[in-house]
Amino acid sequence: MKCRSLMVQGTASHVGKSILVAAFCRILRQDGYKVAPFKAQNMALNSFITRDGGEMGRAQVVQAEAAGLEPHVDMNPVLIKPNTDVGAQVIIHGRVYQNMSASLYHEFKKEAIAFVRQSFQRLSEKYDFIAIEGAGSPAEINLRENDIVNMGMAEIADCPVILAGDIDRGGVFASLVGTIELLSEDERQRVKGFIINKFRGDISLLKPGLNFLEKKTGIPVLGTIPYFKDIYIQEEDGVSLERLIPSGGNEKVDVAVIRLPHISNFTDFDPFEREPDVRLRYVNYGEKIGNADVIIVPGSKNTIDDLNYLHNSGHVQEILRHYRSGGLVVGICGGYQMLGEYIEDPYHIETSLESINGIGLLPVRTLIEKEKVTCQVSANIHPSNRIFKNTDELKGYEIHMGRTELRDEKYMFEIIQREEKQTSTPDGFISEDGRVWGTYIHGIFDNDGFRQEFIKRVKQAKGISVSSEAHASFSFQEFKEAQYDRLAELVRNNIDMEAFCRIAGLR
């Protein structure tokens, strides 16, 4: 069977393109197709490391999971990770290419298109169908030249386009019609259908608008997706951290994650949202941390700038007071580095500063290096760690530009496999009393046994009774799989799938 493809573009960012592509990946997988996701160029700080050490955007990881595939960098050949307001680290086929300003990258897209073609061709040789995601809007006039992610990509794939709009933010008919009006005639011919996303209310009240839209543009509306909150799909963009997490009483473990200006890999903490005895919340700019059982300093794309933010915002003083009053503090990756004594940046990888004092809760020192570490790992609790009992083998990944030296030997984990090679390497550090620890391992809380042991320890410290059977059956991975099925069912029930398959060349 010849590989087919279809592209989901949007009238703007955050209209639901990633979710729709994930849904189509799941639906087509259920229908027996070998389907793969693809996004030529992704801009995100929330990335993932593949089995062979390549770095890619998490949205395509979610879509690959929905398709039942192991993520591969060909699904996201170009990843842009902003590290300043006007510059970013550019990653090609999973590896750091170089740092570029916005204007330099705009010119570089003439070269990047070759990498995009290579990845798309490789996927086309392996799969029956490729579900392609666009980025932002195809009607951004200033970005049309050298485009590789919207209509430029649709031309490379020679595929039809479905245009999605978000009705929840208002103005969906104007944004859909306006986008079509700003496209060239050839581009308009590629748009074969509309999807209206995030609808609340009585669908019959929307019919006049749908009729107008079809008459005005000559393009059919394939369906209207209801607004939903009860289906969990991991999100890639930090805008999702604006969501409100329900509060809890004294029987809840209160976990406060500091939302750093350059926060990365915040999905590390998603599993806590599904734990009934945990209240997860994010501390935004200008807010106080307040009373918490655990404070987590997360990963960062610019550790030194974000450490400066913690000092200047008063959060360092709050963290120290929290620890002195008996609270727990955890650092993941960049957060682990910040909990140490100081960070050195002699090559000015991140800022013009050569060093900065850390929070000082762990006796570790970090040197920012030129080469980025990217690898999947397997680990156990380190033999020197007398606080946590050994759980099942732990899985995760490392992604950092720093080497951390310890002045003691109270390690948190022992890495037993890195990049599929056996090893015995200590990772992280845990304080004598067990109330401060850090690690380079992203995804550590995805491990059910370790997460439940962590919650149990916090509850015991808080004086909450702990049942030995509490949450023992909860599997985060099984939960995610069930959510992909629920998403597929929702989209099937609200989209004209016969029309979708005709447009996609599957009928």
The C-alpha atoms of residue 439 and residue 413 are separated, in whole angstroms, by 8
Read off φ and ψ for residue 447, nearest 5 degrees. Answer: -75, 110
The Cβ of residue 262 has, within 10 Å, a number of other Cβ atoms equal to 21
Secondary structure element (H or E) that encloses residue 375, with its range? strand 373-381
CB-based burial label for 114 (10 Å; 0-12, 13-18, 19+): exposed
Q: What residues are paired with 381 via a beta bridge?
A: 413
Do the beta carbons of residue 273 and residue 229 sit within 8 Å?
A: no
- Which residues make Cβ contacts (< 8 Å) with residue 385, sequence separation at least 6? 410, 411, 412, 413, 430
Q: Verify whether residue 333 is a known catalytic residue.
A: yes
Query: The tokens of 455 are what?
Result: 């919650």
Secondary structure element (H or E) that encloses residue 331, with its range? strand 328-332
Give the DSSP per-residue string, 258-327: E--TTEE-GGGGHHHHT-TTEEEEEE-TT----S-SEEEE-EESSHHHHHHHHHHHTHHHHHHHHHHTT-
The C-alpha atoms of residue 507 and residue 501 are separated, in whole angstroms, by 6
Do the beta carbons of residue 40 and residue 116 sit within 8 Å?
A: yes
Point out the catalytic residue in the list 3, 25, 159, 333. Answer: 333
- Where in 167-261 does DSSP place strands (E)? 191-199, 221-226, 253-258
Secondary structure element (H or E) that encloses residue 174, with its range? helix 172-182
Q: Which among 56, 15, 11 is positioned nearest to 37, based on CA atoms?
A: 56
The C-alpha atoms of residue 304 and residue 300 are separated, in whole angstroms, by 9
The DSSP call for residue 391 is -
Number of residues assigned to the chain:
507
The C-alpha atoms of residue 165 and residue 176 are separated, in whole angstroms, by 6
Q: Which among 315, 317, 319 is positioned nearest to 329, based on CA atoms?
A: 319
Do the beta carbons of residue 63 and residue 16 sit within 8 Å?
A: no
Query: The tokens of 73 are what?
Result: 């960098």
Q: Which among 56, 24, 233, 1 is positioned nearest to 132, based on CA atoms?
A: 24
Q: Verify whether residue 442 is a known catalytic residue.
A: yes
Q: What residues are paired with 379 via a beta bridge?
A: 394, 415
Query: The tokens of 451 are what?
Result: 């997460």
The C-alpha atoms of residue 325 and residue 462 are separated, in whole angstroms, by 12
**Catalytic positions:** 333, 442
